[in-house]
Amino acid sequence: MNKFDKIILYHICDFLYDEFKFALTSISKSTRALGYQTFRNMCKSLSDKIIFSLPFSKTDNLILNKVLSRLSIFFGLTNEESANYMYDFLNDKVWEKSYESISLVNTVFSASKNI
């Protein structure tokens, strides 16, 4: 895996984290509507659905489509390339390695807004 691949996988984690946080803070949605209590739980569920060929919920599809769209826009990837990266991210459980970094960066960024 080259540096470009690692950067894309990192950004998938970041984009998924953004979607999770947005769903939690959105007035129209709650953790019950989202169906996930934690970010890791969401990623594990998406991973299990990919690995075991289980159907995605409407919310899952919405989240995945937003992330795939952002990958295409940010990196100029085709839909197939974006889907392959998403598959690798979920299948290889990359979020387990990337989550701490994403969480730290978002915490520092949020704290810097309050200065």
pLDDT tens-place string over residues 12-33:
998 998 888 887 766 455 445 5
Give the start-to-end residue ranges of the domains of the chain.
3-109
Q: How far apart are CA 14 and CA 88, in angstroms?
A: 15
pLDDT at 46: 94
pLDDT tens-place string over residues 28-63:
554 455 677 888 899 999 999 999 999 998 889 989
pLDDT tens-place string over residues 63-92:
999 999 999 999 999 999 999 999 999 999
pLDDT at 38: 84
Compute CA distances 60 → 42, 55, 71, 88, 107, whole Å: 9, 9, 17, 17, 25
